[in-house]
Amino acid sequence: MNTQQAQIQRLRGDRKPPLSPADTQHRRTRKRFHLVFFLIFLVLPFSNLMRFDIPRQRFYLAGFELWISEFAILFFAIMFLMFLVVASAIFYGRIYCSYACPQMIFSEWSQAVEAWGRKTAQKLFSKGSASVAAKAISYAVLATASVFLAFVFTSYFVEPRDLLQRLLHLDLVTVGGITGATVTLLTFLDLTLVRQKFCTTICPYGYLQGMLQDRHTLLVRYEDPETACIDCEKCVRVCEMGIDIRKGPFQIECVHCGDCVDACEDVLRRVGHLGLIHYTWGEASVAEKPRESWLHRIGLRDAKRWVILLIMLFYLIGLATALSLRRPVLVYLASDRSTLYSVQPDGRVVNRVRVKLANRSPHATTVRLWVEGLPGGELALPNNPVSLAVGEVLEQTVDLRAFPWEVAQEVNQIRVLAQAQGDRKPEVTELTFLMPPPRK
Ligand code: SF4
Ligand code: SF4
């Protein structure tokens, strides 16, 4: 070993150089999950399955365009997602990090691109220029990928067509354009420099996991009952998070990816032993594990987990109910009592009504309004039905007029009905209509 190698090893805390994880059992499964979650990441913003349009203040969920004022739906959606994250951490530890998180998917992919760049450069260039060429090749691929990934990521917050226009015009002047360029630069730095360091330093999920896990949470655990460890350090060298799982299963950096499980299995199988690192539920020993029911095997191991599932079900039903009750056109009617009533020269009594109509549907529509329980009563709208463009909000105070009728009282219960185009039933609002007291 020359002096430089010795120095590098010292700086790494006497660790042997890192190894690429073998493409074996857990890694292969994980890569399949990465593909599925990458496709989900791509599809969500473009299909409006999940997107928060900041400029328009709209939240898109399962194809519904929700307004920021639709509190019930947003509440159930946020609570459900929050419990999903919590449940995943309690049941399966940091499986989300290693199997589904875009940060991990792109970090591992960028490492694969770098390795491919090195191989390609070694084939195509002389020894002296190969390392520069390898960097140039991998940086070119990662720069192109950064533009694409930043575009997808920003599409979660800005309308994708609008964003594409800005990108095609290389807009570096407007706020949207500058944001897009900044996200692209950050993505490039993430893919080339930061990678998994993000998971061990900035990301709060690892710290959260430490608080949430209990004695039944899925862990990766080293277990060596017969001191069969040959100290090859392969498990340490393949670990992207830079830890030694033999020091304990509760290390905050461990994302439970299983690469060390595969590595140890691979080494020890060659000398006729079983691997010493396993996925286990809590600290249960693999050797002592009794035959378990399928409920236990999927993680439903105690009452606490059933309660979490029930809470999630509650929020999911709440979300489904709120979405099914949602009306695409918001109708809000209320009496304006800044004046109780007024009487016109022709004898008609006037009450004022505040009208708010908002078109939350994806098409232009019309809303017809009429009154019941007020003989000859009319709402003095300039047009009825009222036309509303997509996203239009109409807010105004209008006169509700009627001639006094025979059995009119000082306070009369009336109903104002509003029916949007295509609605089967009108929306009914109960109001009062005030009249002057009868002359004695
Ligand atoms: S210790 Fe093993 S399971 Fe944990 S992050 Fe490292 S390789 Fe993955
Ligand atoms: S890979 Fe297995 S045998 Fe090698 S050091 Fe790690 S635990 Fe020991």
pLDDT in tens, 366-401: 999 999 999 888 999 988 899 999 889 999 999 999
- Atom number in ligand 2 closest to CA 222: 7
Radius of gyration, alpha carbons of the chain = 32
210 Cα–ligand 2 center, Å: 25
- Atom number in ligand 1 closest to CA 259: 7
Pocket test for ligand 2, best of 15, 267, 271 (most atoms within 8 A of CB): 267
233 Cα–ligand 2 center, Å: 5
Which ligand sits closest to the CA of 248?
1
End-to-end C-alpha distance for the chain, whole angstroms = 115
Please tell me the pTM assigned to this model: 0.76
263 Cα–ligand 1 center, Å: 10
Q: Which residues does ligand 1 sit against, CB inside 6 Å?
A: 220, 239, 241, 243, 245, 254-260
* 100 contacts: CB under 8 Å, gap ≥ 6: 33, 37
Per the CB < 8 A criterion, the answer to whether 38 and 105 are in contact is yes
Ligand 2 proximity of 231 Cβ (cutoff 6 Å): yes
403, amino acid identity:
F
Question: 329-434: what fold?
Answer: Immunoglobulin-like (2.60.40)
Per-residue pLDDT of the chain (440 residues; tens, 9 = 90+): 443 444 444 444 455 666 666 667 889 999 999 999 999 999 999 998 999 988 878 888 888 888 877 888 889 999 999 999 889 999 999 999 999 999 999 999 999 999 999 999 999 988 888 889 999 999 999 999 999 999 999 999 988 888 888 888 877 777 777 888 899 999 999 999 999 999 988 888 888 887 888 889 999 999 877 778 999 999 999 999 999 999 988 898 999 999 999 999 999 988 888 889 999 988 776 666 667 788 888 888 889 999 999 999 999 999 999 988 888 899 999 999 888 999 999 989 999 999 999 998 888 999 999 999 998 889 999 888 999 998 899 999 999 999 988 777 889 999 999 999 988 889 999 999 999 887 65
Ligand 2 proximity of 237 Cβ (cutoff 6 Å): no
282 Cα–ligand 1 center, Å: 16
Domain ranges of the chain: 22-70+99-208, 212-322, 329-434
Ligand 2 proximity of 159 Cβ (cutoff 6 Å): no
Give the angle subtended at the CA of 191 by the CAs of 186 and 195, to the nearest 5°. Answer: 105
